[in-house]
Structure 1
């Protein structure tokens, strides 16, 4: 964490000018491309996503290859993490159907966590999920799985009946309820999954950049009074870094949990 904060400050100090304070903007998420091939652009955030995915794959390959009957410290950590998803998300929500969807939910949880946590990794300093494209892809994965699972179990007609015509309410209310349910099933669920994840990662990154930009500005300001404010900005940056770690894990959990809930709603008789 200290290396991450130092790298951020040094980067800001090297790239900023002495003319004044420049707060972060949405342009943070649209940097100049590293290289271009025709109309295809490769940006820094793509590099961050590749690094996060590669590290995640390597860690799990190492844990799998070194698995022993009597687990060591590293294997214990890996098994505890896997059991967290299996017990607290898959089995808790899906019950006897958990095993079928466990690979998807496990992959989803750790992938989102890895992409989120890059926001505080030294020299990466931006979450791989802070641009909407990746959260949208993962949300569409959830959408396609719960839609196909419901159709496979009940057929197209049965699935639409279960989802769009909730039992236990007066039939005349369907004229109001059914359009709302249709929007919820086919639009709001995947859209809110993607937007929630993106918004949290964008907000976290902007807060960190704001704190460390302010630290840099106060530190190099000619006024002594302004210099004395530099530790305040640094303290706030450290606090928000810890908070960002919590948000990264929490958003991975919420996204995966809601995905399991939506699948459960699709394959159950009533919801």
Structure 2
């Protein structure tokens, strides 16, 4: 929830439910918006945190160093190596590691008091990030196979020939080149948007029923229930935010793996 949403708490005819308009935040100054500030802040936070973790690295790590190595090892081994394979995976660990942290921090902004806005609930940021991954795995595929070889690699499955190619080739190109970045971004955006909208609804709805609506047993019960749901959904969102960062990173790694593989 953000401060701008408080303006919709009550209309003359009663409660006005939140909607997409609550995500259109006014500029902080000039043309600078809150999501722009959050994106920049996330980069500074990640850089500063891992600089602090690594600047006094020791053989026996302290708690801060151990935490950083734990996250790095998880992305390197469980995502990059498992998906891409031991031959090529290290080339992509820096990007995948940065990608995971970038998405995770911007998602968790939605749970930090006073900030309380997940950056990727704005679709443009999710699609911009998906575009970077799209450029990476297609660029890697062209590097590995050559332009025409990569087009054949993604469009012609092994063992398929004859008239079936007239049907399969357009579908494969659509699926692998066009649809992938759209679904990659849409999954992240939709989860952040829907989760934040639910939190706004339960918070404002509970506040309205408890303090603005007529004092009745039904309103009081509904208001308490809405506040309880707010906290339950908040706990669920903590898990969803982590999973969306993991899934976005894992799918990027899988797309890279498909681009560098010998067979489609």
| TM-score between both structures, scaled by the size of structure 1 | 0.90
Alignment correspondent of 1:22 = 16
Q: Distance in 1 between matches of 2:221 and 2:166?
A: 63
Are the aligned partners of 1:165 and 1:174 in contact in 2 as well (CA < 8 Å)?
Answer: yes
Alignment correspondent of 1:88 = 78
Q: Per the alignment, do residues 215 and 66 of structure 1 end up closer, same or farther by CA in structure 2, a change over 3 Å counting?
A: farther
Question: Where in structure 1 do 4 or more consecutive aligned residues deviate above 4 Å?
Answer: 8-15
Are the aligned partners of 1:212 and 1:237 in contact in 2 as well (CA < 8 Å)?
Answer: yes
Q: Per the alignment, do residues 15 and 101 of structure 1 end up closer, same or farther by CA in structure 2, a change over 3 Å counting?
A: same
Alignment correspondent of 1:183 = 174
| TM-score between both structures, scaled by the size of structure 2 | 0.92
Pairwise CA RMSD of aligned residues? 1.8
Question: Once the 2 structures are TM-superposed, how far is the Cα of residue 11 of structure 1 from its aligned partner?
Answer: 7.6
Alignment correspondent of 1:242 = 235
Alignment correspondent of 1:222 = 214
Are the aligned partners of 1:13 and 1:216 in contact in 2 as well (CA < 8 Å)?
Answer: no
1:12-161 matched pairs, under 5 angstroms: 16-17=9-10, 19=12, 20-36=14-30, 41-96=31-86, 97-161=88-152
Q: Which runs of 5+ in 2 are unaligned?
A: none
How many pairs does the alignment contain? 260
SS of 1:254 mapped into structure 2: helix
CA-to-partner distance for each residue in 1:215-268, whole Å, 9 max, x for gaps?
111120331321233221111000110111111110111111110111111111
Q: Distance in 2 between matches of 1:238 and 1:77?
A: 27
Alignment correspondent of 1:254 = 247
Q: Per the alignment, do residues 13 and 24 of structure 1 end up closer, same or farther by CA in structure 2, a change over 3 Å counting?
A: closer
Q: Distance in 2 between matches of 1:58 and 1:261?
A: 29
SS of 2:21 mapped into structure 1: helix
Q: Distance in 1 between matches of 2:43 and 2:21?
A: 24
Deviates more, 1:133-142 or 1:241-250: 133-142
Question: Once the 2 structures are TM-superposed, how far is the Cα of residue 9 of structure 1 from its aligned partner?
Answer: 9.3
CA-to-partner distance for each residue in 1:88-128, whole Å, 9 max, x for gaps?
10010111211011001001011000111111110111101
